[in-house]
Structure 1
Amino acid sequence: MSPCDRLLVFTDLDGTLIDHRTYGFDAARPALGRLHREGHALVMASSKTAAEVVPLRAAAGFAHCAAIVENGAGILPPAGDAAVSGTEDAHDRLRAALDELPPALRRRFTGFSDWSVDEVSVNSGLDRAAASLARRRQFSEPGLWTGGREDYQIFALLLAEKGIFAQQGGRFLTLSFGATKGDRMAEITRQWRRTGEPITTVALGDAPNDITMLQQADIGVIIANPDQPGIDRLEGEDSGRVRRSLHPGPLGWNAEMLRILDELR
């Protein structure tokens, strides 16, 4: 990594930049402030909706950067509002495909659209206002699977036949039409590199749906999550290209980002 490189940082939110319990990121503010002051870019990459990401992105000081929403299903443009370009009926088609499943399987998956605002709040830990924003799905459907492993395999296979794929995050199983955070990361990175400016990509995440980002980044950081099974050992850990934080959530995020920024000097 050259000391003149600009960082293009892709970060998961829940359990990574944002604390799973408090939904805050105060512990990460020192590194966020330094990223901003030194002119680096931060791309939030989350299963959250655009409506949720807009205020979070502004609060972190990176409203001028694009964001990846709904687990890679859409890209929120810089300084954009909650309108994301894409297939407008994607969520409706996804919900229709779910309802076409055998009833015994369909009952095993309950998503945000099946729940009231109060139920989303209880299941996610969000307050009612944030839960309302979380239900404003455009492309994907996060939820909980309550069946066994064999039934899940049938569930996933039947959905895959309709072009719908499941990605396990730190808290929810998210269904979408196949795009991943890694796909969108590659798209945004290509756009940046067309300018000819030297950049180093960094990706941080705590769950299996972050692996595609971690594997393609110049530097990958697996954030500790003691409440989840986590991520198995990845290629690149032996060489140090992929590293693991000692601390969970925004505390670990802050420590690892400050370490990377120090390495730039």
Structure 2
Amino acid sequence: MTFILISDLDGTLLGHHDFDFDLIKSDIINLLDSGHLLVLASSKTKVEIKGFCDALGRNVPFIYENGAGVENFCLINGCEAPLNSHQNPKAIRTDALLSVWERYIPLGLKSRCHFIKDMDRGDQQALLGLGATALDRAMKRSFSLPFTFSGPVSDVQKLKYLAKKAGLSVQQGGRVYNLSGCHDKADYLPEIRKWASKAKDTPVLIVLGDSKNDIEMLKQADVSCVIPNENGDYLSIGNGNYPTIIAPRAAPLGWLDAVMEALSLFPVKEGVNYG
């Protein structure tokens, strides 16, 4: 049995406010050294996630910009990924996104949307909670455009409907919404399962998330793990997902709590190697 930990970053593995994971860094390394695989799945940019890999001191496979593409998939242990890098055919470049947006989204709704790229640098840093270098990495987007929305929930639903009708997607993360093509972090989970199934051990997908843009991949998990925020509030993913683990505390320690509880559901049997 091969355990594949598919994890969101902000608010799931990284602290919600400080984006830190130092408290569990050595534990992550121990999990990797034990043969478990970590796959990151985030709305973050490619360069942001590469920065996380540098801080961790390990290259790991990752899904970037909410499923716009994948990197390092040749690192999936024991499988034969066809490509190290892959761009989702549903991904749309940012200039093309804006062209569709301008053509099909009514002015009244567009006026409620405030793209991060159009804000001054101070407002960008305050909203995203990032320092100068981290902000530069976050703004290097190729397939998504983060924005804030000022208006009632009913208008958000209307925006999502019209965006989908125009061939676009609006997804909600921890701090902002993201405009992109109609792709999702979950798009690559069937491929991960298929590639890993080529190995001699059966893959077990343990998926960890905290926000609405994690719901689809949590629903595809063998074990779903939801990480609460610092107030103890947590994402509801609906019925039918069993087992689902709700971590007892926020990230980053809650991430480790959830992983260890998920692994405990599969006790090691004598003579059996679980990776």
TM-score, normalization by structure 1 = 0.87
**Quick one: distance in 2 between partners of 1:165 and 1:229?**
26
Written as runs of structure 1 = structure 2, the 5 A alignment for 1:1-265 is: 5-63=1-59, 65-78=60-73, 85-86=87-88, 90-100=93-103, 101-226=105-230, 230-232=234-236, 234-236=238-240, 239=242, 241-262=243-264, 263-265=266-268
How far apart are 1:119 and its partner, in Å? 2.6
Q: How many residues align?
A: 256
Q: Which moved more, 1:54-63 or 1:8-17?
A: 54-63
Distance 1:227 1:90, change over 3 A: farther
Distance 1:113 1:229, change over 3 A: farther
How far apart are 1:233 and its partner, in Å? 5.3
How far apart are 1:97 and its partner, in Å? 2.1
The gaps in structure 2 that reach 5 residues or longer are 76-84, 269-275
**Quick one: distance in 1 between partners of 2:130 and 2:67?**
21
SS of the residue aligned with 1:141?
strand
SS of the residue aligned with 2:151?
coil
Alignment root-mean-square deviation, CA: 2.4
How far apart are 1:79 and its partner, in Å? 8.3
How far apart are 1:117 and its partner, in Å? 3.6
The gaps in structure 1 that reach 5 residues or longer are none
**Quick one: distance in 2 between partners of 1:31 and 1:148?**
42
**Quick one: distance in 1 between partners of 2:120 and 2:136?**
9
Q: In structure 1, what residue type is equivalent to 2:14?
A: I
Equivalent in the alignment of 2:79: none
CA contact (8 A) 2:109 2:159 kept: yes
**Quick one: distance in 2 between partners of 1:7 and 1:216?**
15
CA contact (8 A) 2:116 2:148 kept: no
CA deviation vs aligned residue, 1:95-127 (integer Å, no higher than 9, x gap): 222233333221211223222443321110011
Distance 1:61 1:39, change over 3 A: farther
How far apart are 1:211 and its partner, in Å? 1.3
CA contact (8 A) 2:245 2:262 kept: no
Distance 1:103 1:227, change over 3 A: farther
